[in-house]
Structure 1
């Protein structure tokens, strides 16, 4: 689990409550269920209008990376590719049949199996590159879905504040109730800004970093396996892959 994400969320929200407390504000004024509903549910609903339920499901699945990030061990992948290259040079490409799962990655398993099956190296490279790009684009579509939620949240927060002010104005004959209603109304704006800038945008940025790293990792696998397929010398291949980090 990525405790940095949890720590960041805790620090971000604590700063808001601490600032409110130091300013003499009451904590319960920041807790408003209707405001949370109009900001969170409304933002998700608005984003669904421009997307689809499948996009929402994929984005939700990708969000788990913020707490349980994928592991891309470049050093281990280079070492495995180097071992496979030495074995293929010493024996043959067909001798790698028992090693298709050596890197323990679905993308590499498919790529190595295609190489062993005799796929033309040029076709193999093009097809794998296309697959890697499609995976990246699909992931980024989920990231964009989350960023859209963050884009709508502040506007929904303002709408919530306007709605709260309308309700507060119904109490013009009671100054005390009017003041309390106005204070609660502006909580929606705070929720909209906080939900977007303390939660959604930071998480989307972190996920985008992981998605880009996945693309680089796939590129390493493509260059390594295609190098094995064309019989490139293991030491030369090792030098070429050393730049991937």
Structure 2
């Protein structure tokens, strides 16, 4: 689990509550369920209108990376590729059949299997590169879906404030109720800005970084497997792969 994300969220929200408390505000005024509903559900609904259910599901799956990020161990994979290169040079590509799942991920296994099956090295590189870009584009669409939620949140917050003010105006005959109603109304704006800038956009940025690293790892695997396929010397292959980290 990525405790940095949890720590960041805790610090971000604590700063808001601490500032409110130091300013003499009541914490209870910052807790408003209707405001949360219109901002969070409203933003999600607006994003769904412009997207498809498949994109929403993929975004939800990708969202778990914010707490459970993927691990791309370049050093470990580099050692595996070097061993495979030595084995293929000593025996043959067919001898790597038992090592197809050595990396523990689908992309690497498929790349190695295609090399073992005798796919032309140039065609192998092109196909794997296309697959890597296709995966990257699909991931970035999920990131864009999440960013869209953050884009709508501030506007929904303003709408929530307007609704709150409409309800507050109904209490013009009671100054005390009117003042409290206006205070609660502006909580929606706070929720909209806070949800977008303290939660959605930072998480989307972190996910984007993970997606970029995944693409780099896939390119690393492509270079390694294609190097093995053309019979590149293990030492030379190791030197080329050392540029990745």
Q: Would you say same fold, with TM above 0.5?
A: yes
In the alignment, what sits opposite 1:240? 240
In the alignment, what sits opposite 1:161? 161
In the alignment, what sits opposite 2:45? 45
In the alignment, what sits opposite 1:184? 184
In the alignment, what sits opposite 2:173? 173
Separation of aligned partners in 1, 2:135 and 2:202 = 22
In the alignment, what sits opposite 1:90? 90
In the alignment, what sits opposite 2:211? 211
Count of matched residue pairs: 245
1:124-139 mapped onto 2 (5 Å cutoff)? 124-139=124-139
Separation of aligned partners in 2, 1:27 and 1:108 = 51
| TM-score with structure 2 setting the length | 0.99
TM-fit CA distance, 1:105: 1.6
Separation of aligned partners in 2, 1:127 and 1:229 = 14
Give 3-state SS (helix, strand or coil) of 1:102's partner: coil
In the alignment, what sits opposite 1:11? 11
CA deviation map 1:33-75 (0-9, x unaligned): 0000000000000000100111111111111000001000000
In the alignment, what sits opposite 2:21? 21
Deviates more, 1:40-49 or 1:103-112: 103-112
Separation of aligned partners in 2, 1:135 and 1:50 = 21
Give 3-state SS (helix, strand or coil) of 1:72's partner: coil
In the alignment, what sits opposite 1:71? 71
The list of structure 1 runs, each at least 4 consecutive aligned residues, that deviate by more than 6 angstroms after superposition, is none
Give structure 2 stretches of 5+ with no counterpart: none
TM-fit CA distance, 1:101: 1.0
In the alignment, what sits opposite 1:123? 123
Separation of aligned partners in 2, 1:86 and 1:236 = 11
Give structure 1 stretches of 5+ with no counterpart: none
Name the Cα RMSD after superposition.
0.5
In the alignment, what sits opposite 1:61? 61
Separation of aligned partners in 1, 2:105 and 2:37 = 40
TM-fit CA distance, 1:103: 1.5
Q: State whether structure 2 residue 208 is matched by structure 1 residue 220.
A: no
In the alignment, what sits opposite 2:109? 109
